[in-house]
Amino acid sequence: MKLSLFQIDAFTDSVFSGNPAAVCPLDAWLSDQQMQAIAAENNLSETAFFVPKGDGFGLRWFTPTCEVDLCGHATLATGHLLLNRLEPKRPAVTFETRSGPLTVKRENDRLVMDFPAKPAAETAPDAGLVAAVGGAPEKVLAADNYLMVYASAAEVRELRPRMADLVAFGPRGVIATAPGEDCDFVSRFFAPAHGIPEDPVTGSAHCTLIPYWSARLGKADLHARQISRRGGELFCRDEGTRVSIAGRAVLYLEGTIFL
- Is 29 in the same domain as 54? yes
- Is 95 in the same domain as 6? yes
For residue 251, what are the domain limits? 2-114+247-258
From 213, 169, 210, 206, select the one nearest 191 (Cα to Cα): 169
Catalytic residues: 46
What is the reported pLDDT for 170? Answer: 81
CATH of the domain at 46: 3.10.310.10
- Is 129 in the same domain as 220? yes
* Cα atoms in the Cβ-side hemisphere of radius 13 Å centred on 45: 28
- Is 73 in the same domain as 23? yes
**Following DSSP, what letter does each residue of 72-116 receive, concatenated?**
SHHHHHHHHHIIIII-TT-SEEEEEETTEEEEEEEETTEEEEEEE
- Is 147 in the same domain as 92? no
Rounded Cα distance, 237 and 221, in Å: 5
What is the reported pLDDT for 53? Answer: 97
What is the reported pLDDT for 142? Answer: 96
Q: CB within 8 A of 156, min separation 6: which ones?
A: 150, 176, 177, 178, 186, 187, 188, 227
From 206, 177, 191, select the one nearest 118 (Cα to Cα): 206
From 238, 249, 205, select the one nearest 81 (Cα to Cα): 249
Is residue 143 within 8 A of residue 121, CB to CB? The reply is yes
pLDDT profile of the chain (259 residues), mean per 10: 98 97 98 98 97 97 96 98 96 97 96 98 95 96 97 98 93 95 97 94 97 98 98 98 98 98
- Is 63 in the same domain as 108? yes
- Is 132 in the same domain as 60? no
Is residue 140 within 8 A of residue 125, CB to CB? The reply is yes
- Is 63 in the same domain as 167? no
What is the reported pLDDT for 178? Answer: 98
- Is 132 in the same domain as 73? no
Backbone angles phi, psi at 231, to 5 degrees: 80, 155
Is residue 236 within 8 A of residue 246, CB to CB? The reply is yes
Number of domains in the chain: 2
- Is 134 in the same domain as 53? no
Residue type, 152: S
pLDDT (tens digit, 9 = 90+) per residue, 189-239?
Answer: 999 999 899 999 999 999 999 999 999 999 999 999 999 999 999 999 999
- Is 95 in the same domain as 164? no
Rounded Cα distance, 10 and 141, in Å: 27
Segments in the chain forming alpha helices (H):
32-42, 73-81, 127-133, 153-157, 163-166, 206-217
How does DSSP classify residue 35? H
- Is 96 in the same domain as 177? no
